[in-house]
Amino acid sequence: MAVLTGFTQILMSGGSGLLSLPFSRSVTLIFLVSFLVLGTGITRGLGGTWKSGPLLPRLYLLGGILAFPLGLGTAEILLRCGHAPGAVQIITQLVWHSFVHHLWLAPMALVLVFQLLPTLTGRAVTSLPLGILAWSLLLTLGGWATNSLASQGPIPSWLQSMGVVAAVLLFVAALGNTVLLQPLVEGRMDEIRRNVALRFLSLGSWSYIAAYAWMMFLSIPGVRQNTAFTVAWNANQTLFLFSFLGSILTGSIYALLPVIRNLGWPSHSSLLWHFWCTALGTAMTFVGYALAGVLQGLALNDPGVPLSTVASYLRPFLVVILFGQVLWLTGQLAFSSLFFATLLKLFPSTAPMAVFPSSRAQGTDLAHAQY
């Protein structure tokens, strides 16, 4: 409701003028009330079963539910209700950006990863202390990561340094989570080739560490000075939003829809189109933005290169980016057609879970074994 109301207000009367809070105060109030209701319901639901089941998904869920309203409320007070100086407004918007990406979206995706991967593979997470350490790093430093974007400008140098430290330690946290997830899929390549949900979750898990590795690279002071005003940061957004979050959410839909709606997925060629167009599209878009950003930064720091020449340098990379985005969109169209066809039962289902067409028989056996 809050998202729909916010989009409607922006389309009808324009944004609020704030980059991080383009919607009105009423939308913020709806968000806060919805999270209050959600948090109360989840707390009551988990109250008697907190010690049962996997702990890490519950910790990430708790952190995300607490962080989003805290960040949103603070940004609302400082940016709209108060008269904060310009530098404080810039810092607040950067911190709020970090809250959304690293303290809300990333924990929600990790909830799904740590809940579904052990279920699909039949293996448990081995080192709980390492998982808690990674969770602590994410919840402690996630709100500071975007300060590494603040190259120069009216921002204290210690905040920029804090952003660099946060980016490095968030990569360490991602590396720790990857160490926990790797044994879950080790030796399961045959299942990953057959199981659509497992393949998307595996792609999202590797994109998770790749996104934080690229963010750490861009946060290095020498690199940041050359890429701060380039499209190199778009490469990080591509990895984080489309490859990491998108793949995790898609894999979760493939895994959970049969359980929620008691439906079976058809073994259709759209599954292959969806995966390969999504994977290749995001890879091409990332590579295009990354190479274009590095080249753009080097050219902009060379006083002998005019801006028109810089633009001409970027054209081949923009073509690659456009082609990658078209591929990604094709994959989403394939998924949408299959998703609604499955809900309407237009195709005969072959298994409770989605399996790629080339492995229909093996996937059916695996599905009966797991469900």
342-367 confidence digits (pLDDT tens): 777 766 655 566 777 764 444 444 44
- CA dihedral sign of residues 247, 248, 251, 252: negative
* Domain boundary residue, one of 165, 186, 207: 186
Domain contains 18: no
CATH number at residue 218: 1.20.210.10
Query: What residues contact residue 191 under an 8 Å CB cut-off, 6+ apart?
Result: 120, 121, 198, 366
Q: What are the C-alpha distances in Å from 338 to residues 26, 81, 118, 177?
A: 37, 46, 26, 32
Strand-pairing partners, residue 195, are: 355
Q: Which domain holds residue 132?
A: 23-42+53-186
- For residue range 274-311, list pLDDT tens digits in order: 999 999 999 999 999 999 999 998 888 888 888 888 88
Domain shared by 90 and 226, yes or no: no
Q: What is the biggest distance separating any 2 CA atoms in the chain, rounded to whole angstroms?
A: 68
Domain contains 10: no
- The token pair that represents 33 in the structure block: 């009330």
Domain contains 176: yes
**Is a pLDDT exceeding 90 seen at residue 158?**
no
* Domain boundary residue, one of 186, 208, 240: 186
- The token pair that represents 371 in the structure block: 């469900």
Domain shared by 268 and 339, yes or no: yes
**Is a pLDDT exceeding 50 seen at residue 42?**
yes
Write out the DSSP string of 301-345: T-TTS-HHHHHHHHHHHHHHHHHHHHHHHHHHHHHHHHHHHHHTT
Q: What pLDDT score was predicted for residue 342?
A: 79
* Tally of domains in the chain: 2
**Is a pLDDT exceeding 80 seen at residue 324?**
yes
- For residue range 169-227, list pLDDT tens digits in order: 999 999 999 999 999 888 888 888 888 899 999 999 999 999 999 999 999 888 888 88
Rounded to whole angstroms, the Cα distance separating 264 from 262 reads 7
Decide if 357 contacts 289 (C-beta within 8 A). Answer: no
- The token pair that represents 150 in the structure block: 């603040």
From the CB of residue 60, how many other CB atoms can be counted at a distance below 10 Å? 26
Task: Give CA 197 to chain center in angstroms.
Answer: 17
Backbone φ and ψ for 355, nearest 5 degrees, come out as -130, 150
Domain contains 136: yes
Window from 35-49, 82-96, 265-279 with minimum mean pLDDT = 35-49
Domain shared by 205 and 100, yes or no: no
Domain contains 159: yes
Domain shared by 169 and 111, yes or no: yes
The count of residues in the chain is 371
**Is a pLDDT exceeding 80 seen at residue 268?**
no
What percent of the chain has pLDDT above 90? 35
* Domain boundary residue, one of 186, 216, 242: 186
Amino acid at 121: T
Rounded to whole angstroms, the Cα distance separating 28 from 1 reads 11
What global pTM score does this model have? 0.86
